[in-house]
Structure 1
Amino acid sequence: MKLAVSGKGGVGKTTFSSLLIRALNSSGKHVLAIDADPDANLAAAVGIKNADQIIPIAEMKDLIFERTEARPGTIGGFFKLNPKVDDLPDTLSAKFENIKLMRLGGVKKGGAGCICPESTLLRALVMHVVLARNEVVVMDMEAGIEHLGRGTAKAVDKLLVVVEPGRRSIDTAEHIRSLASQIGLTQIAVIGNKIRGKKDEDFLKNNLKDFNFLGFIPYDNALIEADLNGIAPFDANSSAVEIVMEMVKKL
């Protein structure tokens, strides 16, 4: 099963991704987690120790040079467009129980979709984990779907879009669906987060009528306290854990 998680910044996308990853792990699955959001720290949310010391692959200059035969930060020139990446998930992942986690990082030069050694390696890696790995793959994406190409999108079983009750969150969900449709990714489900009651739930249903809702996670102070205390959301005393476990069964 290959899953990609997206949503506007601040909606709780990484919190949900970590809950999903840990729920899959607790159900006996081997999970390959991909942190593809440069502004998030999925490793800490999962509960991996010393998460802040994990070096993003996009910053591993020697590795990028070895695999692409071009120095990071360069644009143009000659370099390999199909670098070897099949060994990276096993050699570069941080481990937690049955979870392997890779942090991609961001490409700081050249803009989105640039033809540069860093982005070439990251795209090749994402293509490999989606098409060739036999674990469950969960990718915590940016607000868009930057790392997904047309070839990989068709192999993604579900794009999970996290939304909160709010106009900007709804607009982002529509934008993500538009981007996804352009590369043939049509299997989309929505998760409502930070739900304070039926009014919030109805607001999302009424404004995203033609979306399929996977479920709703309540606004929970336990999750906020867990974040403040550096505790993984899955280890918090929150109803969100059981709710996400039920989502896993649906998936």
Structure 2
Amino acid sequence: MKIAVSGKGGVGKTTLSAFLARWFAEQGTSVLAIDADPDANLGHALGVADAAAITPLSQMKALIAERTESVPGSFGGFFKMNPKVDDLPEKIAVPCAPGLRLMVMGGVKKGGTGCVCPESVLLKNLVHHLILRRDEVVIMDMEAGIEHLGRGTSKAVHALIIVVEPGRRSIETALKIQQLAADIGIANMTVVGNKIRNEKDRAFLQSSLNGLSFLGFIPFDEGLIEADCAGVFADHIDEATQKALEAIAENLRRLQPKSE
């Protein structure tokens, strides 16, 4: 399966991405977790030691120069638009647990929109390879947008999960992500409600996003918040939270076409 997770900052998308990556790996599946959020936190959420020391791909200047035949940080000029990327998962992915590896993409700093630079070209070619060519579960923790995805990869994404919490700003971000995803042809969009305190919160999210299907709802849990603050995997959570996360993972697995 190829899974992208997005949502407003702070809603819990990284926590969900980490749980799904761990869960699929525990089922005996090879998993590649991709931190595609410039504010990289997935390593911490997965419990990777010294996660802050991992160099994002976008900052590997020598590698970018080699693959794109250019000078990293440069705009304009000539460079390869189809650099070799198929060996990068084995080259730079960090082992996290049995069957689970992590790649940190990083962001591309740019002054305007529509960046066409060596860093962005390498990242987009790598995402294209990960989504279309890799025979494993790929889980991408994305920023509040889907700029790493393009029309060429959108149809191969089995699920775009939009994580939301009870709140108007979270809903507005979710609707923007839904529109961006529709524009590039992502058909399988689902929602996970997080930080649910009561039935009123659940009903608010369902009524505000009634055009989208929900994979499930995660209760408000201090354990998740404490793990996020400590930068560790959330393994001290309530039983109800654990069951809710497992149900979401099971519902997600059912979205995979049976022919695959």
TM over 0.5: yes
CA distance in 2, matches of 1:142, 1:82: 24
Query: In 2, are the aligned partners of 1:81 and 1:120 still within 8 Å (CA)?
Result: yes
CA distance in 1, matches of 2:173, 2:125: 27
Report the Cα distance in structure 2 between the residues aligned to 1:102 and 1:66, rounded to whole angstroms: 19
Q: Give unmatched runs, 5+ long, in structure 1.
A: none
The residue correspondences of 1:86-125 to structure 2 (distance < 5 A) are 86-96=86-96, 97-125=98-126
Are 1:201 and 2:207 counterparts? no
User: Is the Cα contact below 8 Å between 2:40 and 2:104 reproduced in 1?
Assistant: no
RMSD (Å), alpha carbons? 1.2
C-alpha distance in structure 2 between counterparts of 1:126 and 1:169, whole Å: 26
TM-score by length of 2: 0.93
Distance 2:67 2:241 in 1: 41
Q: Is the 8 A contact 2:20 2:249 kept in 1?
A: yes
Question: Alignment partner of 1:210: what SS?
Answer: coil
User: Which residue identity does 1:79 align to in structure 2?
Assistant: F
Distance 1:89 1:111, change over 3 A: farther
Q: Matched residues in 2 for 1:242 and 1:91: separation?
A: 36
Q: Find the counterpart in structure 2 of residue 211 from structure 1.
A: 212
Give the Cα separation in 2 of the matches to 1:192 and 1:223: 14
Counterparts of 1:112 and 1:122, CA distance in 2: 16
Structure 2: runs of 5 or more not aligned: 253-260
Q: Deviations over 1:89-129 (max 9, x none)?
A: 01100112211110000001244441000000000000000
- 1:50 corresponds to: 50
Say whether 1:84 aligns with 2:84. yes
Q: How does 1:1-251 map to 2 (within 5 A)?
A: 1-96=1-96, 97-233=98-234, 235-238=235-238, 239-251=240-252
Q: 1:111 and 1:94 mapped to 2: Cα distance? A: 32
Q: For the Cα contact (< 8 Å) 2:23–2:249, is it kept in 1?
A: yes
Task: Indicate the SS of the match to 2:74.
Answer: coil
TM-score, normalised via structure 1 length? 0.96
Relative distance call for 1:113 and 1:21 in structure 2 (3 A) is farther
- The separation in 1 between residues aligned to 2:137 and 2:159, in whole angstroms, is 12
CA distance in 2, matches of 1:25, 1:106: 26
